[in-house]
Amino acid sequence: EIEHECNSILPNDWKSSVDSTNVDGADEEALLLLARCQLDGTGLDSPNPELALYYLQAAYHMTKSVKAAHTLALIYEYPQQSNNLVPIDVYAAFEWFKAAAEGGCVPSMAELALCYELGCGVTQSDENALDWYMKAAAAGCSSAHFSVGEHYEEGRSVRLDHEEACIWYHRAAVMGEEDGVRGLRRLEEVARRV
C-alpha cells in the first residue's frame, strides 16, 4: 500500500506543458505508479484523474513510454480504465493507440487496426486496418490473425480468398483464439482442402 502523498513531487506549475524531449533521470515506472494512485485515489483524499493524465503524458514524453501511451489510449477508449472518471474521447484514444503502436506496443497495434476498421477516432480505412492487423499478427497477436482472416474472407482491401482466410483462421485457432475456430467452422469446406 502506498503511504505517501502523490502530489509532493509536483512543481507548482504542473499543468504547464510537458517537455517533449527525453529527460535524463525520469523514471517511467514511478510516473506510471503515480498515475495509478491518482486514478485509484490511493493515499489521497480522492482520485485526481486530471493529474493521472498528466503523469501518464509526462511518462510518455519524458521516457518515451509506450506503456504510458497505451494506458492513455485505454483510459480514453474504455471508461472503466479510469473508474469512470475520464470521459470517452475516441480521437484522443486513436492518437495514443497510434503513438503506442508506432513504438512497438502489440496490443496497441491491434487496437489501432480496430480504430481504422471501425472509423473510430479516424476516417475508416480497411487498408490501414489490414496493415496494422498484419503488423500485430507478425508480432504474435492471436486476435490479429483472426482479423486478417476476416479481411480475406470478406474481400476487404484484398482479393476475396477463402483459402487464405482459412490459413489465417488456423493460425489464430492454434494460438487459442476461439474466433479462429469459429472462422474455420464457417468455411468448413474450404478449410478441409487447405
In the predicted structure, residue 49 carries a pLDDT above the cut 80: yes
Give the N- to C-terminal CA distance of the chain in Å, as an integer.
54
Q: Residue 142: CA atoms inside 13 Å, Cβ hemisphere, count?
A: 11
pLDDT digits (tens, 9 = 90+) for 62-86: 999 999 999 999 999 999 999 999 9
Kindly report the pTM of this predicted structure: 0.84
pLDDT digits (tens, 9 = 90+) for 128-146: 999 999 999 999 999 999 9
Rounded CA-CA distance 154/166 in Å is: 12
pLDDT digits (tens, 9 = 90+) for 16-26: 444 444 566 78
In the predicted structure, residue 6 carries a pLDDT above the cut 90: no
pLDDT digits (tens, 9 = 90+) for 148-182: 999 999 999 999 999 999 999 999 999 999 999 99
Pinpoint the alpha helices (H) of 64-125: 66-77, 90-102, 106-118
- Section 90-112 average pLDDT: 98
Q: Residue 23: CA atoms inside 13 Å, Cβ hemisphere, count?
A: 13
